Amino acid sequence: MEEKVFINGRPAEIERKWLIKIPDIKILEKQDMYNVSSIEQIYISDDRSAGGSRIRKRDFGADIKYYKTHKEDINGISRFEEEWEISKEEYEVLSQKIRHGTSPIKKKRHSFNYCGFVVEIDIYEFWDDKASMEIELTSEDQQVYVPDFIEIIKEVTGDKSYNNYALACKY
């Protein structure tokens, strides 16, 4: 279960990220608390866009939710993060404010619990041989246990060329 983290009294996320080979989905489906969703993510221009505002449509099959998120980097592993649910109508209006030079990102997110961690594996439409994996932490120095059934290409924590905004600019 995700534990909410606060830094200087502000909501934050601490996570490590890896570039991985696309895993065997049948193995993922057998993991504790497994779920899958389709995500469309759009970076938008708004009054807070310098820090990274985005909107997201997350489809769980029978349930679709819409979110707006604002992030500000603290360092390579931690960032302030505010996220709130929005209506479908607000999502549709905001999607017209897509940030110049970016494209919507579409991905399948496979989430599960592993050794007390929430693991999120994103499989993007534009890659056919690799994916990304993130593990959320409660502190920057927390020891991480990577699932042994995941083949890591390299760790990309703090590498801005693999964050979702950079991918939205590239693909």
Q: What is the pLDDT of residues 4-33, one digit of tens each?
A: 788 888 888 999 999 999 999 999 999 999
**pTM score, whole prediction:** 0.92
- Residues in CB range of 74: below 8 A, 6 or more apart: 7, 12, 80
Backbone angles phi, psi at 4, to 5 degrees: -70, 130
Q: What is the pLDDT of residues 37-52, one digit of tens each?
A: 999 999 998 765 455 6
- Rounded distance, CA 21 to CA 23, Å? 6
**Owning domain of residue 36:** 5-170
Q: How many domains does the chain have?
A: 1
The CATH number that applies at residue 41 is 2.40.320.10
Which residues on adjacent β-strands are paired with residue 37? 109
Give the pLDDT score at 165: 93
